[in-house]
Amino acid sequence: MVKIGNITLGNFPLLLAPMEDVSDPPFRAVCKENGADLMYSEFISSEGLIRDAIKSRKKLDIFDYERPVGIQIFGGDEEPMAMAAQIVEAANPDLLDINYGCPVKKVVCKGAGSGILKDIPKMVKLTAAVVKATKLPVTVKTRLGWDDDTKNIEEVAERLQDVGIQALTIHGRTRTQMYKGNADWTLIGKVKNNPRIHIPIFGNGDICTPEQAIAAREKYGVDGIMIGRAAIGYPWIFNEIKHFMKTGEHLPPPSVLERVNVCKKHLQHSVQWKGDIVGILEMRRHYTNYLKGLPHIKEFRQQLVTCSTLAAVEEVLDSIALHYKDHIVERTSPLTDQNLLPAKNEVADCNVYG
């Protein structure tokens, strides 16, 4: 059984990646209902928490139905990160995660996210300060290294374990790769199979099918996997992997009615948490993902992104379910469709490819 502190996660847990502008409570709710074992908040600026910024504080919201759940923070200085850890602890999550993986310039230039991969001693000191500041289990998400010449994840894993982290998630790319090319799981496997390592090691990068999940477990020995973009608009991925691991058989892909119903649940959670105006507006980025692959869907999608009331959106969704009731949904790989991405901006892109 995989454990992080006193949190028991099962034999091969499936984690939902912390994705900015995606992994909010409404999205986490539908992923939890569809099999996610552990989920993380969107990443939160330590400086924003200290300044009591409204957006940062809002991201601390967690709900009992989504436990176990972790809150992820980022920053480049010890004192603000330690203070932020204490603020996070007061929100009562199950664990605290540190982001050492975000590659975007506006984060990296502050020495935060994957920017800290250039200074491993600083990473160790910062991590130690966070561990010391909170009673919560502290975990880390990071990358293989800064570039191909500095793939130092084996050293990093040992040193972060030595200062007290209780689990490590490794994204199989360097910072200079950003999200290009294929994730390299070889070094993730080396970390997991290092006899010095006793904490859970989770792999992350390009997992979008049950077969890939099984390969990650059997070839590299990881304790679990973290799924990012494959879950965007497709929260069924978690139960599909679990079913395949248990039976060796694929679940049928969700019907159009199932897609619409989960989309409606997501929408309702969004309105409840954000209010009518913001909840409806920010839900618009998800419709393309839920309706991916449906022929001639453009007209319906255009209606969805112009509706201004919950009732109007639900009416269009019901029309879609009726119109496509006889449509046979085919299984497709989400990693081949760039429409999976949310709104294009640096922060939104930060962890989308988790």
Number of Cβ within a 10 Å radius of residue 111: 16
pLDDT exceeds 90 at position 97: yes
Note whether 150 and 115 are within 8 A (CB): no
pLDDT of residue 266: 97
Residue 205 pLDDT more than 80?
yes
**The Cα angle at residue 40 between residues 35 and 42, in degrees rounded to 5:** 125
**Choice between 178 and 219, residue whose per-residue pLDDT is larger:** 219
- Which positions make up the binding site for FMN? 72, 141, 171, 228-229
What pLDDT shows up at residue 281?
Answer: 94
Binding positions are 72, 141, 171, 228-229
- Dig out the tokens for 159 from the structure: 């040193």
Number of C-beta neighbours around residue 63 at 10 A: 13
Secondary structure class of 165 (helix, strand, coil) = coil
Active site positions, annotated: 102
pLDDT in tens, 60-80: 999 999 999 999 999 989 999
Q: Where in the chain are the domains?
A: 2-247, 256-324
Going by CATH, does the domain composed of 2-247 fall within 3.20.20.70? Answer: yes
CA dihedral 310, 258, 342, 43 (to 10 degrees): 90
Q: 256-324 is classed in which CATH architecture?
A: Orthogonal Bundle (1.10)
In terms of residues, how long is the chain?
A: 354
Percent of the chain with pLDDT over 70: 93
* The pLDDT of residue 354: 37
Classify each residue of 19-43 as buried b or exposed e, where b means 16 or more C-beta atoms within 10 Å of its C-beta: bbbbbbbbbbbbbbbbbbbbbbbbb
Share of the chain above pLDDT 90, in %: 74
Q: What is the pLDDT of residues 284-323, one digit of tens each?
A: 999 999 999 899 999 999 999 999 999 999 999 999 999 9
Query: pLDDT of 23-59, one tens digit each?
Result: 999 999 999 999 999 999 999 989 899 998 888 889 9
Looking at per-residue pLDDT, the higher value among 149 and 122 belongs to 122
